[in-house]
Amino acid sequence: MPDKVLRKVFLGFIHVHILHHAKKEPIYGSWMIHELEEHGYKISPGTLYPLLSGMEVDGLLDKYEKNVGGKVRKYYRITEKGERVLFEAIDRARELFREIES
């Protein structure tokens, strides 16, 4: 049971991490998988791609396609709504972590 609870918590962190990178520059799925692995998150394409799609449906990310080496790659960039959500998430996380640390 704790694994399911931790997974839900970490998925929230992953959403914020995606928004953070999509604000810096457009991202694509396989790059994001490797980026998350560098931080200790093991996420499969079967988990990440529906997550990115859901964030697009929610208006947090915009998607566009680009031909890279003869293959179409889907890129995602943050939207204005995504930026608002990111800043709100950062503010709330800081507040919570300050309370937890004291």
Q: 76 φ, ψ to 5°?
A: -125, 140
In the chain, which stretches have pLDDT less than 50? 1
pLDDT at res. 2: 60
Q: What is the CATH number of the domain that holds 81?
A: 1.10.10.10
Percent of the chain surpassing pLDDT 90: 78
Give the count of domains, the chain: 1
Q: Which of 87, 98, 97 is nearest to 16 (CA)?
A: 87
Q: By three-state DSSP, how is residue 76 classified?
A: strand
Range of the domain at 96: 2-101
Helix extents (H) in 1-102: 2-24, 29-38, 45-57, 80-101
